[in-house]
Amino acid sequence: MIKIFLFIVFISFFSGCSLSTPANQWQYKSTTAFNAYKENFLKQNLVVAQADLKRAIKHAKMSADLTQLATIYLGECALKTAVSTLIQPCNKYKRIQPLIENKSLDTYFDFLQKKEINIELLPSEYKKSLFDIEKATSFFISASLLQDNLNEKDINKILQKASFYGYKQVVLFWLKKAVKITKSNKKKKILLKKILVLSR
């Protein structure tokens, strides 16, 4: 009898543990996949990055609440902004924007479009001056949006940070930017050689 009782207690305990998995696993998996996408995209592991992005979107599409999906689309657009001289259209986000009501996401979208915004609605890291931003992705996104106002010294600091994180895509972007603004032919030749080495 005691053995049967202990077996029932064990089964009940095991069943309880198995039911402790959060119901919103889709959200956790979506966020985890997007974080992996972010790292691989910035490190220029583009094939792996696209697979991560597809997984993030797939899990986000398991909910009628499209906030997670909108966040992913906007995050994808922001990362492309970090390595581009052009304002990104963020078309994926714009397609579902009317289906959600989120002032923070809308403000961040306007921020990426270089429109006038209420800065209080931005994430806290974006309220700091550029070189006080600690979060790497936020720093590189902000740097790109400010690229026309940065000098050679600023770009060298950005390159140091990108190199520290091993974000090859960001490194190449700013090396090319440095080539355009440097007045020294000697430095320009060195920069071009670095780009060649990293691109092979």
SS3 for 94-144, per residue?
Answer: HHHHHHCCCHHHHHHHHHHCCCCCCHHHCCHHHHCCHHHCCCHHHHHHHHH
Burial readout 165-192 (b: 16 or more C-beta within 10 A, e: otherwise): bebbbbbbbbbebbbeebeeeeeeeebe
pLDDT digits (tens, 9 = 90+) for 9-29: 333 434 444 445 567 899 999
Q: How many CA atoms lie within 13 A of 81 on its CB side?
A: 28
With a CB cutoff of 8 Å and minimum separation 6, the contacts of 87 are: 81, 112, 113, 114
Helices (H) and strands (E) in the chain, counts: 10, 0
Alpha carbon distance 131, 140 (integer Å): 10
User: Does 5 have pLDDT greater than 90?
Assistant: no
Q: What is the pLDDT of residue 23?
A: 75
With a CB cutoff of 8 Å and minimum separation 6, the contacts of 100 are: 66, 67, 70
Domain spans in the chain, listed from the N-terminal domain onward = 26-150, 151-200
Cα-based torsion angle of the residue sequence 156, 158, 161, 167 in order, rounded to the nearest 10 degrees:
-110
pLDDT digits (tens, 9 = 90+) for 121-138: 999 999 999 999 999 999
User: Does 3 have pLDDT greater than 60?
Assistant: no
- 3-state class (DSSP) for residue 10: helix
Alpha carbon distance 197, 88 (integer Å): 28
User: Contact 84/144 with Cβ under 8 angstroms?
Assistant: yes
Q: What is the pLDDT of residue 24?
A: 87
| 1: confidence class by pLDDT, cuts 50, 70, 90 | low
pLDDT digits (tens, 9 = 90+) for 150-179: 999 999 999 999 999 999 999 999 999 999
Alpha carbon distance 90, 71 (integer Å): 11
User: Contact 130/146 with Cβ under 8 angstroms?
Assistant: yes
Q: Which residue has the tokens 């052009």?
A: 86
Nearest to 63 by CA among 29, 90, 114, 102: 29
- Please give the average per-residue pLDDT across 137-150, as a whole number: 96
Q: What is the pLDDT of residue 21?
A: 57
pLDDT digits (tens, 9 = 90+) for 71-107: 999 999 999 999 998 999 999 999 999 999 999 999 9
